[in-house]
Amino acid sequence: MGRHAHDITHKYFSKLEDISNGTHRDIHDTFSSFVKMTACALSAGQREKEYLEEASKWDKNHLIMFSEALSLLIREMETDPFTDIMGKYYAVVESKIVKQSKGEFYTPNELCSMMANIVLNDTYDGAPIYLNEPTCGAGQMILSSAQNIVDQGQSPYILRVHATDIDDIATQVCYINTTLWGIPCIVHHGDSLKCDVIKSYPNIHWIAVEMSKGYKVSSHEVE
Ligand SMILES: C[S@@+](CC[C@H](N)C(=O)[O-])C[C@H]1O[C@@H](n2cnc3c(N)ncnc32)[C@H](O)[C@@H]1O
C-alpha cells in the first residue's frame, strides 16, 4: 500500500508541476491557487466569489488539470486515512526564508499520533469533544485526534475544533483536510499570540452541527 500511495502522491503533485511548467508560473503560486480553489469548491457554495476570482487567473485547460490533481489527491487520501498529504508539499514549495520566519515545519505524522494518543486517552461516550489548535498548520494534529477517536469506535463528528494559523494557505489546507475527513471545524486565519482573527472559515460539518443547535452562522464567518 505504501508504494501505491507514494505513486499517486507523486502523480498529484506532478500534475501541479505540469501546470507550473506549462505556464511558467512559480510552483508556490500554482500550489496556492490549487489549495484556494479546492477549499472554495468544498464550501458548498459559500465561497463562490472567491473561487471565480482565483479561477479567472487560469485558462480552461489548466482548470481541468487542477480538477485532475484534486481527483488524484482524493484517491491518495483514501488509501491513507487521516493523514495530511498536502502539508508536506507546502513545506517543499514554501521558501526556506518564509518557513523559518513563521516556524513552518512539517510535523511528522507519527509525532502527531503520539501526542493525540497522550491527550485523548479517554473512553468516549459520544459527547462532543472540544479541541483548540492555535497553530494548526495543515491540521495533522487534528487528523491524528480524529484517527484516535475512530480507533475507539466513535465518529470524528463528535469533535468540535477551533483551528488557527497565521499563514492563509495553511488554513486552507487545514480546511480541506478537516472537510474531507468529516471533522466539524472552524478554521481561523489569524495570529494566536495576539488573539487577532483576520478571517474565519467554518467548514460544512461545523455549519451542520451549529445549525442543528439553531445557531445562525454570521456573515463575517463566511465572507
Ligand atoms: C510546526 S507547524 C504546526 C504543525 C501543526 N500543529 C500540525 O498538526 O502539524 C507551526 C505552525 O504555526 C503557525 N504559526 C506560527 N506563529 C503563529 C501565530 N502567532 N499564530 C498562529 N499560527 C502561527 C505557522 O504558520 C505554522 O503553520
Distance CA 93, CA 217 (A): 34
Residue 69 grid cell:
490533481
Distance CA 1, CA 213 (A): 41
113 lines ligand 1 (CB under 6 A): no
Distance (angstroms) between ligand 1 centre and the Cα of 196 equals: 14
Spell out the domain ranges in the chain: 5-99, 105-213
Q: Which atom of ligand 1 is nearest to the CA of 134?
A: 21
94 lines ligand 1 (CB under 6 A): no
CATH architecture, domain defined by 105-213: 3-Layer(aba) Sandwich (3.40)
Per-residue pLDDT of the chain (223 residues; tens, 9 = 90+): 344 444 455 788 899 999 999 999 988 899 999 999 999 999 999 999 999 999 999 999 999 999 999 999 999 999 999 999 888 777 777 665 565 556 566 677 888 888 888 887 666 777 899 999 999 999 999 999 999 999 988 899 999 999 999 999 999 999 999 999 999 999 999 999 999 999 999 999 999 998 888 666 554 454 4
Residue 89 grid cell:
508539499
167 lines ligand 1 (CB under 6 A): yes
171 lines ligand 1 (CB under 6 A): no
Reported pTM: 0.88
